A and B are shown apart, each in its own frame.
Chain A
Amino acid sequence: METTETKYQKYLPKDYKSEIAVRWCPGCGNYAILNCLHKALAELNISPHNTAVISGIGCSSRLPYYMNTYGFHTIHGRAAAIATGVKVANPALSVWVATGDGDSLAIGGNHFIHALRRNVDINIILFNNKIYGLTKGQYSPTSARGFISKSSPYGTVEDPFRPAELCFGARGTFFARAIDVDMKTQVEVMVEAARHKGASVVEVLQNCVIFNNGIHNKISDRAWKDDNTVTLKQGEKMIFGKENNKGLVLDGWNLKAVTIGEDGYTLDDVLVHDATTKDNTLHMKLALMDTADNLPVALGVIRNVDAPTYEREYERQIAEVQQRTPRKSFTEFLLASPNVWKVK
Chain B
Amino acid sequence: MPTNAVVTDIKQVTIRFSGDSGDGMQLSGTIFSTLSAIFGNEIATFPDFPAEIRAPQGSLHGVSGFQVRIGAKDVYNSGDKTDVLVAMNPAALKVNTPFLKKGSIVLFDTDSFQKKDLDKALFQTQDPFKELSLDHVQPIGVAITSMTRSSLEGSGLENKEMLRCKNMFALGIVCWLFNRPLEIADKLLKQKFSKRPKIVEANIKVLTDGYNYGNNIHLTASTYRIEPIEASKGFYTDVNGNTATAYGLIAAAEKAGLPLFLGSYPITPATDILQELVKRKDFGVKALQMEDEIAGITSSIGAAFAGSLAATSTSGPGLALKSEALGLAVITELPLVLIDVQRSGPSTGMPTKSEQTDLNQALYGRNGESPLVVMAAASPTDCFECAFTASKIALEHMTPVILLTDGYIANGSSAWKIPNMEHYPEIKPPFVENQFSGDASAWSPYLRNKETLVRYWGIPGKPGYMHRIGGLEKDLLTGIISSNPENHQQMVHIRQQKIDNIARYIPEQEVLGDRDADTLIVGWGGTYGHLLEAMLHIRDNGRKVAYAHFRHISPLPANSHDLLRRYKKVIVAEQNNGQFASYLSGKFPDLHTICKYNKVEGQPFKVIELVEAFTHMMENK
Q: Which residues of A contact B (CB under 8 A)?
A: 1-5, 18, 20, 47-52, 54-55, 57, 64-65, 67-75, 78, 81-90, 92-93, 110-111, 114, 314, 317-318, 321-322, 325, 327-331, 333-335, 337-344
Closest Cβ neighbor of A339 among chain B residues: B237
Q: Decide if B295 touches A111 in the complex (CB within 8 Å).
A: yes
Most chain A Cβ neighbours within 10 Å, of B292, B325, B466, B467: B466
Contact partner of B263 among A48, A71, A85, A325, CB < 8 A? A85
Q: Decide if A73 touches B468 in the complex (CB within 8 Å).
A: yes
- Chain B: minimal CB distance from A309 (Å): 14
Contact partner of B468 among A67, A114, A314, CB < 8 A? A67
9 contacts between A and B (CB under 8 A): A49-B463, A81-B263, A88-B303, A110-B295, A111-B298, A321-B282, A340-B237, A341-B38, A341-B236
Given A78-B294, A85-B302, 18 other A-B residues pairs in contact with their CB atoms under 8 A: A48-B466, A50-B461, A51-B460, A70-B467, A73-B469, A75-B324, A75-B327, A81-B294, A83-B302, A85-B288, A85-B301, A87-B302, A92-B461, A93-B306, A317-B281, A339-B237, A341-B236, A343-B231
Any A CB within 8 A of the CB of B76: no
Contact residues in A for B263 (Cβ distance below 8 Å): 81, 85
Contact residues in A for B463 (Cβ distance below 8 Å): 4-5, 47, 49
Closest Cβ neighbor of B191 among chain A residues: A338
Q: Given the known A-B contacts A78-B294, A85-B261, are A52 and B237 also in contact in the complex, defined by CB atoms under 8 Å?
A: no
Contact residues in A for B281 (Cβ distance below 8 Å): 317-318, 321-322
Q: Report the separation of the CA atoms of residues A67 and B291 in the bound assembly, to the nearest whole angstrom.
A: 29
Most chain A Cβ neighbours within 10 Å, of B232, B294, B467, B470: B470
- Chain B: minimal CB distance from A48 (Å): 6
Contact residues in A for B300 (Cβ distance below 8 Å): 85
Q: Report the separation of the CA atoms of residues A111 and B296 in the bound assembly, to the nearest whole angstrom.
A: 11
Contact residues in B for A64 (Cβ distance below 8 Å): 468, 470
Closest Cβ neighbor of A310 among chain B residues: B288
Closest Cβ neighbor of B294 among chain A residues: A78
Q: Decide if B282 touches A4 in the complex (CB within 8 Å).
A: no
Q: Report the separation of the CA atoms of residues A85 and B420 in the bound assembly, to the nearest whole angstrom.
A: 32
Closest 7 CB pairs of A and B: A85-B302, A73-B470, A85-B299, A71-B468, A82-B302, A89-B303, A70-B460
Q: Decide if A81 touches B295 in the complex (CB within 8 Å).
A: yes
Any A CB within 8 A of the CB of B50: no
Closest Cβ neighbor of A61 among chain B residues: B470
Contact residues in A for B467 (Cβ distance below 8 Å): 70-71
Q: Decide if B471 touches A75 in the complex (CB within 8 Å).
A: yes
Question: Which B237-265 residues have a C-beta within 8 angstroms of A?
Answer: 237-238, 247, 250-251, 254, 259, 261, 263
Q: Decide if B254 touches A81 in the complex (CB within 8 Å).
A: no
Contact partner of A1 among B418, B461, B471, CB < 8 A? B461
Q: Report the separation of the CA atoms of residues A343 and B236 in the bound assembly, to the nearest whole angstrom.
A: 7
Mask of B211-242 contacts with A, CB within 8 angstroms, 1/0: 00000000000000000000111111110000
Q: Decide if A74 touches B298 in the complex (CB within 8 Å).
A: yes
Contact partner of B299 among A52, A57, A73, A88, CB < 8 A? A88
Any A CB within 8 A of the CB of B148: no
- Chain B: minimal CB distance from A137 (Å): 21
Any A CB within 8 A of the CB of B425: no
Q: Decide if B303 touches A86 in the complex (CB within 8 Å).
A: yes
Q: Decide if B469 touches A86 in the complex (CB within 8 Å).
A: no
Any A CB within 8 A of the CB of B290: yes
Q: Decide if B310 touches A85 in the complex (CB within 8 Å).
A: yes
Q: Decide if B328 touches A343 in the complex (CB within 8 Å).
A: no
Q: Given the known A-B contacts A333-B282, A339-B38, are A18 and B468 also in contact in the complex, defined by CB atoms under 8 Å?
A: yes
Any A CB within 8 A of the CB of B308: yes
Q: Report the separation of the CA atoms of residues A18 and B466 in the bound assembly, to the nearest whole angstrom.
A: 10
Q: Decide if B481 touches A65 in the complex (CB within 8 Å).
A: yes
Q: Which residues of B contact A (CB under 8 A)?
A: 34, 37-38, 40, 188, 191, 231-238, 247, 250-251, 254, 259, 261, 263, 281-284, 286, 288, 290-292, 294-295, 298-308, 310, 324-325, 327-328, 332, 418-421, 458, 460-472, 480-481
Contact partner of A82 among B298, B419, B460, CB < 8 A? B298
Does more than half of chain B's interface fall in helix, strand or loop, or is it mixed?
mixed
- The number of residue pairs between A and B whose CB atoms lie closer than 8 Å in the complex comes to 205
Q: Decide if A318 touches B306 in the complex (CB within 8 Å).
A: no
- Chain B: minimal CB distance from A75 (Å): 5
Closest Cβ neighbor of B299 among chain A residues: A85
Closest Cβ neighbor of B258 among chain A residues: A89
Contact residues in A for B458 (Cβ distance below 8 Å): 70
Q: Decide if A74 touches B470 in the complex (CB within 8 Å).
A: yes
Contact residues in A for B250 (Cβ distance below 8 Å): 330
Q: Report the separation of the CA atoms of residues A228 and B517 in the bound assembly, to the nearest whole angstrom.
A: 87
Q: Report the separation of the CA atoms of residues A38 and B135 in the bound assembly, to the nearest whole angstrom.
A: 84
Contact partner of B469 among A1, A20, A71, A87, CB < 8 A? A71
Contact partner of A334 among B247, B261, B306, B470, CB < 8 A? B247
Q: Report the separation of the CA atoms of residues A1 and B300 in the bound assembly, to the nearest whole angstrom.
A: 17
Q: Report the separation of the CA atoms of residues A186 and B284 in the bound assembly, to the nearest whole angstrom.
A: 38
Contact residues in A for B464 (Cβ distance below 8 Å): 49
Q: Report the separation of the CA atoms of residues A64 and B325 in the bound assembly, to the nearest whole angstrom.
A: 19
Q: Report the separation of the CA atoms of residues A87 and B307 in the bound assembly, to the nearest whole angstrom.
A: 11
Contact partner of A329 among B254, B460, B468, B471, CB < 8 A? B254
Contact partner of A89 among B302, B421, B468, B470, CB < 8 A? B302
Q: Decide if A339 touches B34 in the complex (CB within 8 Å).
A: yes
Q: Given the known A-B contacts A78-B325, A337-B237, are A89 and B282 also in contact in the complex, defined by CB atoms under 8 Å?
A: no
Q: Report the separation of the CA atoms of residues A47 and B464 in the bound assembly, to the nearest whole angstrom.
A: 11
Most chain B Cβ neighbours within 10 Å, of A51, A340, A341: A341
Closest Cβ neighbor of A77 among chain B residues: B294
Q: Report the separation of the CA atoms of residues A87 and B298 in the bound assembly, to the nearest whole angstrom.
A: 13
Closest Cβ neighbor of B480 among chain A residues: A20
Contact residues in A for B461 (Cβ distance below 8 Å): 1-3, 49-50, 90, 92-93
Contact partner of A340 among B236, B290, B292, CB < 8 A? B236
Q: Decide if A88 touches B261 in the complex (CB within 8 Å).
A: yes
Contact residues in A for B420 (Cβ distance below 8 Å): 331
Closest Cβ neighbor of B433 among chain A residues: A4
Q: Report the separation of the CA atoms of residues A50 and B261 in the bound assembly, to the nearest whole angstrom.
A: 20
Contact partner of A69 among B261, B284, B325, B466, CB < 8 A? B466
Most chain B Cβ neighbours within 10 Å, of A4, A64, A318, A322: A318
- Chain A: minimal CB distance from B188 (Å): 7
Q: Report the separation of the CA atoms of residues A3 and B463 in the bound assembly, to the nearest whole angstrom.
A: 8
Q: Decide if B295 touches A78 in the complex (CB within 8 Å).
A: yes
- Chain B: minimal CB distance from A322 (Å): 6
Q: Given the known A-B contacts A65-B481, A73-B468, are A334 and B418 also in contact in the complex, defined by CB atoms under 8 Å?
A: yes
- Chain A: minimal CB distance from B34 (Å): 6
Q: Given the known A-B contacts A52-B460, A330-B247, are A82 and B288 also in contact in the complex, defined by CB atoms under 8 Å?
A: no
Closest Cβ neighbor of A4 among chain B residues: B463
Q: Report the separation of the CA atoms of residues A255 and B471 in the bound assembly, to the nearest whole angstrom.
A: 46
Q: Report the separation of the CA atoms of residues A26 and B293 in the bound assembly, to the nearest whole angstrom.
A: 39
